[in-house]
Structure 1
Amino acid sequence: MNLEIKNIEPKAIWSHFADLNAVPRPSKKEERVIQFMVDFGNKLRLETFVDKVGNVIIRKPATIGMENRKTVVLQGHLDMVHQKNSDTNFNFDTEGIKMIIDGDWVKADGTTLGADNGLGVAAIMGILASTDIMHPAIEALFTIDEETGMTGAMGLEGNILKGDILLNLDTEEDDEIGMGCAGGVDITATRKYKEDEVGTESISYEIAVTGLNGGHSGMDINKGLGNANKIMNRLLFDGFTNFGLRISEINGGSLRNAIPRESFANIVIDKASKEPFLFELNDLINSIQLEYKSIEPNLLITLKEIPLPKKIMDLGVQEELIKAIYSALNGVYRMSPDIEGLVETSNNIARVIVKDGNIMIGSLTRSSSETNKWDLANSLRSSFELAGFNVEFSGSYPGWLPNINSEILNTVTKLYEELYKEKPNVAACHAGLECGILGQNYPNMDMVSFGPNIRGAHSPDEKAQISSTKKFWNFLIEILKNTPSKN
């Protein structure tokens, strides 16, 4: 099927995307895709090198007649989010993505597609390989580890790039021109606990929350989607409060930048409480599914009896854990007072692990306001520290402040109106783009962001629109032909 992908128009993008998706490229394990890009640049006989943190830079001279235009940095990230359905047998470390054409969309077989940001990378490859596209001098910047820390952008030194303009190709709406984005910080709460013996007059169940949409923890955080960790905690709270439920293990969520789709918990109750526990829990399950029926129609909450575990959580720590997760904010904290419809500050309770005497709760807080980012982060810290957890902040990165006087923003906006006879949506987004970080070491670089329509990023439902990708490609070509002249 991947051979069919190569023949989709424009082949200049889809053929490179298919080649890229054949290379495993998990965050923090980008060695193979780095070498892939180096080989690509060297094969084209273009100046190609890797910086000290692993970013790949490829330079291509201006085409004839374009030498007086400002140098353009085309930027995308090499890594991709790895999510798969629980019934999909797939190894992201060793296998290439298996792609499917579904009408006007390309998707993957039970996994994330990697269109975020593979289509942006493929478009840059198409420009670098082209022989008939007019463009100014190009610096292609392929960053690493965007999805789990943005360490590539953070590690890029300020003397490497010579460009005046940066085109970030990492947005997911083809009528949108990005002029700003949110920053973020990872919040990790940890605690140890003692384990108790399981009583002989006990019965054990696995509770499974599955079938949620998941999605991007920035772009989709305002949609009211279900968070598997919060739903699971609601079930555990009810069972603990009314029937003395005890927790053996919890494994919920996965990556910090993905809204959790699944959570699994092994629990123990007294045999004497079995019937009323099952009755009330099923009643609660029906209520939750009713609450989410319009937005999470595939939500499934199941119980199955399992062998008794050897150990359960200490009772006091268990109570503090459940109440801490209940009190910790998940979702939108504040909407922007300046940009209508824009989420300013939010949090995603992304990961909950309870096992073998250790608890780990991982969250990602985002905000376009640095002060409100830390306000929410400190609110979450307070919730967890009051429950006896140790809390660490890490991976903090700044937002990208909008510049309404941007020359390239003005150029790109006018060009869009001329091409498509309508105004684009010029906006900041709640995702974490690398522009804010890159702007720290390159404060004079003029930046915008755009891309094709991508739906369900960071989830196995991710798909990219074929017609929109063609529009994106044509728009990119026109921008390069119309970049401003040097002063």
Structure 2
Amino acid sequence: MSDPLKNLQSEHLFKHFKAIADIPHGSYHTEKLSNAILAFAEEKHLNAERDDVGNVVITVPATPGHEDAAPVILQGHLDMVTVAKPGVIHDFDIDPITLVLKGDDLYADGTTLGADDGAGVAMALALLDEPDFVHPKLYLVFTTEEEVGMDGAYALDYQQFADAKFMINLDSEDEGTATVGCAGGTHMKSTLPIRRVKAKGLAAVLSVSGLAGGHSGDEIDQFGLNAVKVLADALCAIAKDVDFSIVDLKGGERDNAIPTSAEATLLIAPSERVTLDQTVNALQHTFRAIAGKRDQGMTLALDFPQADAVEASVLDPDSEARVLGALSAAPTGVVAMNRSVPGAVNTSLNLGVAATSDKALSLVFLIRSDHDAARDMLCGRVTRLIDLLGGTTGAPSSYPAWPARETSPLLDTMSAIWQAQTGKALTPMVIHGGLECALFAHALPDLDIVSIGPDNIDIHTANEHMSIPSFKRTYAFLKAAVEALA
């Protein structure tokens, strides 16, 4: 098969990106890629180490005459998200990514592209092939399992490059922006015990669907509806007119995604059917009016799967009251906006999953904040609410925030270079998602960090693609920035 990158300029850059795409490297399967990187370092006669979890660190001595310049870390991650389009057969443990060039954009053939973070790793490696590259001492740090919880960064020995003063992370997605801070997060799970009793009635399934959803960090500032919360509010409104019992309830798929659908199975008296139908129709109009443009596709639907009454195990009245109380009272969405960065979210909570089992209601939250203290306070609010309702809450994992620095010589240098190269201002931004930069900043508080990357669109989907011109410009920007630090 012909190489779609063969005739592109910046051959070092695209040679490395193609080599990365040829090696399967989904999360927990990055050993082959790290082997290739270690072999490349050996060819260059550079010291490279791989730790027990697969992180790779390459140490590059400064260009002669530049040994006094402060060392710089270039950092990216080895693993990629592995998603294929329906009907596409692709074994991500064996098959290479097939690259497809469409105009100025690079796609994969029916799968994720892996530019997150193959683009960043390729840029760092390509610099080592540049014949006239002048640089300070460099540490190329490639971590594992970033996409599934930043496991590699958690296990990293930061003291091996503690002399570094600057770090350029290569895992951002928008050209012309410089990420200078990110939110920390806590994954929380609450469990509310429930009791059940036998009841008989007409089964009715109330469902919420068609919401826009989105990433609970990147798109929480769109103020879209949360399907679990809509369902809870609908049930509380229905309870004013209709006597029902809850059989089961479920909504959402994971804590970092705003739920787009939810449903509850109810038992009602057959005589309440018309009233329930009318109430649900009225509520749909109400919620669409509340939703605004983003969630105008929302549907609140009612289905009666059996014509006759059935017997089922339902929540007893006390359990039902506590479940609806938890779902309706739990905070969700944006809690506070950033007081220093206009338009940026400071603190948020996403109720990502809610589901009843035989004996409990489980709620899964992801709480984010630019300040660890604000995150912890919100975690405390949720914990106290669930405690009052007779449940328990645990936080199995947290990751720290990366607060934006008041002054950043690295950002100043990079801004001047971007202005000179493009005639445009470099836009600093604080994101409401997690980046490995936070763990580096936590371990090495004096490290001055900026994150950049080329335009990478629809990441983590089978439609992921990257702008080739943006990739080339970002690489030239990176090279000039590192040279300026020498």
User: TM-score, normalized by length of structure 2?
Assistant: 0.83
Larger radius of gyration: 2
Q: Which amino acid is 1:363 matched to?
A: F
Partner of 1:186: 187
SS of 1:159's equivalent in the other structure is helix
Q: Is the 8 A contact 1:2 1:100 kept in 2?
A: no
Tell me which residue corresponds to 1:33.
30
Aligned letter for 2:329?
S
**Counterpart for residue 414 of structure 1:** 416
Match of 1:340 in 2: 342
1:209 pairs with 2:202: no
Per-residue deviation at 1:220?
Answer: 1.9
| Contact kept? 2:229, 2:328, Cα under 8 Å | yes
Structure 1 range deviating more: 177-186 or 231-240: 231-240
Structure 2 CA distance for partners of 1:312 and 1:145, relative to 1, 3 Å: farther
Residue in 1 that maps onto 2:455: 453
Residue 167 of structure 1: how far off its partner (Å) = 0.7
Shift of 1:361: 1.2
* Cα distance change, pair 189–76 in 1 and its aligned pair in 2 (3 A): same
- Between the aligned partners of 2:3 and 2:313, the Cα distance in structure 1 is 51
2:222 and 2:164 mapped to 1: Cα distance? Answer: 38
Q: Distance in 2 between matches of 1:105 and 1:311?
A: 55
From 456, 469, 472, give the equivalent of 1:470.
472
Distance of aligned partners of 1:481 and 1:345 in 2 relative to their CA distance in 1, 3 Å threshold: same
Identity of aligned residues (%): 27
Match of 1:320 in 2: 322
Aligned match of 1:387: 389
Question: Superposed, which structure 2 residues align to 1:130-141 within 5 Å?
Answer: 134-141=134-141
Gaps of 5+ in 1: none
Aligned CA distance change for structure 1 residues 42 and 396 (closer, same or farther; 3 Å): same
Deviation at 1:142, TM superposition (A): 2.1
For residue 243 of structure 1, give the secondary structure of its aligned residue in structure 2: coil
- What whole-Å deviation, never above 9, does each CA across 1:49-86 have from its counterpart, x for those lacking one? 3323442323445567765544321112344567899x
Q: Which runs of 5+ in 2 are unaligned?
A: none
* Of 137-146 and 307-316, the range deviating more from structure 2: 307-316
Between 151-160 and 9-18, report the one with greater CA deviation.
9-18
1:344 aligned partner, one-letter code:
N
Residues in 2 aligned to 1:315 and 1:9: alpha-carbon distance in whole angstroms:
69
Q: What SS does the aligned partner of 2:224 have?
A: coil
Of 373, 376, 385 in structure 2, the residue corresponding to residue 374 of structure 1 is: 376
Q: How many angstroms apart in 2 are the aligned matches of 1:15 and 1:255?
A: 37
Q: Which amino acid aligns with 2:258?
A: I
Which position in structure 1 is the counterpart of 2:196? 195
Question: Using the alignment, how far apart are the partners of 2:213 and 2:108 within structure 1?
Answer: 15
The within-5 A match list for 1:7-86 is 20=20, 30-45=27-42, 46-62=46-62, 69-80=69-80
Q: CA deviation at 1:381?
A: 1.8
Distance 2:416 2:179 in 1: 14
Residue 172 of structure 2 corresponds to which residue in structure 1?
171
* C-alpha separation in 2, matches of 1:84 and 1:186: 27
Q: Distance in 2 between matches of 1:246 and 1:5?
A: 61
CA contact (8 A) 2:206 2:300 kept: no
SS at match of 2:415: helix
When normalised by structure 1's length, the TM-score is 0.82
SS at match of 1:74: strand
The SS at the match of 1:32 is: coil
CA 1:461/1:275 → structure 2, altered by over 3 Å: closer, same or farther? Answer: farther
Q: Which residue matches 1:247?
A: 246
SS at match of 2:257: coil
The letter for the 1-side match of 2:428 is V
Q: Residues 461 and 400 (structure 1 numbering): CA distance in 2 closer, same or farther, change over 3 Å? A: same
Amino acid at match of 1:351: V
Instruction: Write the distance in 2 (CA, Å) between the matches of 1:461 and 1:333.
Output: 32
CA drift of 1:182 comes to 1.9
C-alpha distance in 1 between matches for 2:16 and 2:355: 38
Q: Distance in 2 between matches of 1:280 and 1:117?
A: 49
**Does the 8 Å CA contact 1:193/1:357 hold for their aligned counterparts?**
yes
Q: For residues 448-474 of structure 1, what are the alpha-carbon distances to aligned partners after superposition, in whole Å with 9 as ceiling and x for unaligned?
A: 112233455567776544443333222
- Number of equivalences: 478
Shift of 1:398: 2.3
- Alpha carbons of 1:123 and 1:351: their partners in 2 closer, same or farther (altered >3 Å)? farther
What SS is found at the alignment partner of 1:391? strand
Specify the alignment match of 2:219 in structure 1: 220
Larger deviation: 91-100 or 178-187?
A: 91-100
Structure-2 change in CA distance of 1:400 and 1:294 (3 Å): same
Q: 1:91 to 1:359 in 2, by over 3 A?
A: farther
- Residues of 2 paired with 1:442 and 1:158: CA distance? 8
Q: Tell me by how many angstroms 1:41 deviates.
A: 2.6
Paired residue type of 1:197:
K
Cα gap change, 1:332 to 1:353, in 2 (>3 Å): same
